[in-house]
């Protein structure tokens, strides 16, 4: 089976469509979404509608919870006030069916692939969608987050940075971000958001296992035009952060 893994779309419909076009050319058997679908972006409703139409397994990310679970934001933080305003703006666009769709997202999803290969999907880690797994995460910390591997391939999102490493007899990968990848820096202080959409393909067929970390160029002007037409609050800050100007 050939499975495409997408994550961290963050309301960027132009990026999502670009990545889905690439996935179609890659001829996969299935798509799995690893969460953080609609928050913090200019086209949350369009992204939700598109993802629902895919009818694919859905993992719940930490920002998906923002629409479902009461959140505490620091009113003294300009960044958190901006995030709250974007969340509230998106909530006004969602229908009750949209929220029911998000409530059905799962903490983890396990899929059998081929010849005994199993794929375990999560957002941050199998234990918490806010866990951060990086290439530099010490083995003992990784063991705390993953425990005894329950699959040959473990795949997550959350960090917005693509990564592949071994853990015991398993492969651990982070698939990157469709809508807002980070390059260099850290999850809390990235240097920039490159103009690309990221995802991964896990290919298990005929006793062979391969993992592809894929990057697709994005049309920056198209993303910015769609964002400015959306009416999202703090649009200038979002465009400056996403495009780098």
Segment 9-20, tens digit of pLDDT: 999 999 999 999
pLDDT digits 0-9 by tens, 204-231: 998 899 999 999 999 999 999 999 999 9
Q: What is the pLDDT of residue 77?
A: 85
Number of domains composing the chain? 1
Q: Give 71's pLDDT tier (boundaries 50, 70, 90).
A: confident
**What is the arrangement of strands in the sheet containing 30-33, beginning at the earlier edge strand?**
30-33, 2-6, 196-205, 208-217
Tell me the two tokens of residue 224.
């910015």
**What average pLDDT does the segment 125-132 reach?**
96
Q: What is the pLDDT of residue 80?
A: 86
Q: Give 186's pLDDT tier (boundaries 50, 70, 90).
A: low
Locate all alpha helices (DSSP H) within the chain, ordered by sequence: 13-26, 44-54, 78-93, 96-103, 139-146, 220-228, 235-243
Q: Give 191's pLDDT tier (boundaries 50, 70, 90).
A: low
How much of the chain, in percent, has pLDDT values that exceed 70?
96
Q: What is the pLDDT of residue 244?
A: 66
**What average pLDDT does the segment 22-35 reach?**
97
Q: Give 103's pLDDT tier (boundaries 50, 70, 90).
A: very high
Contact 209, 189 (CB under 8 A): no
Contact 157, 123 (CB under 8 A): yes
- CATH code: domain of residue 16: 3.60.21.10
Three-state DSSP state, 193: coil
pTM: 0.94
**What average pLDDT does the segment 35-64 reach?**
97
Q: Give 240's pLDDT tier (boundaries 50, 70, 90).
A: confident
Enclosing domain of residue 179: 2-243
Is residue 40 predicted with pLDDT exceeding 70?
Answer: yes
**How far is 156 from 152, CA to CA, in rounded Å?**
14
């Amino acid at each position: 089976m050939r499975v495409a893994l997408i994550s961290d779309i963050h309301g960027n419909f132009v990026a999502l469509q670009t990545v889905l076009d690439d996935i179609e050319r890659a001829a996969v058997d299935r798509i799995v979404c690893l969460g953080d679908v609609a928050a913090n972006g200019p086209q949350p409703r369009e992204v939700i509608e598109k993802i629902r139409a895919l009818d694919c397994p859905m993992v719940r990310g930490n920002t998906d919870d923002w629409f479902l679970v009461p959140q505490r934001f620091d009113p003294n933080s300009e960044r958190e006030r901006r995030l709250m305003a974007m969340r509230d703006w998106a909530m006004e666009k969602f229908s009750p069916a949209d929220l029911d769709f998000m409530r059905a997202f799962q903490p983890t999803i396990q899929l059998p692939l081929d010849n005994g290969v199993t794929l375990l999907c999560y957002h941050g880690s199998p234990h918490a969608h806010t866990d951060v797994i990086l290439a530099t995460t010490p083995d003992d910390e990784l063991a705390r987050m993953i425990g005894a591997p329950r699959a040959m391939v473990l795949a997550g999102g959350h960090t917005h940075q693509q990564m592949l490493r071994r853990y015991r007899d398993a492969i651990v990968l982070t698939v990157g971000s469709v809508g807002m990848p980070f390059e260099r820096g850290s999850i809390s202080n990235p240097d920039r958001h490159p103009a690309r959409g990221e995802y991964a393909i896990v290919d298990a067929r005929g006793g062979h296992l391969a993992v592809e970390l894929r990057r697709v160029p994005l049309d920056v002007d198209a993303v910015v035009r769609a964002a400015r037409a959306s009416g999202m609050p703090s649009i200038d800050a979002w465009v400056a952060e996403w495009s780098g100007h």
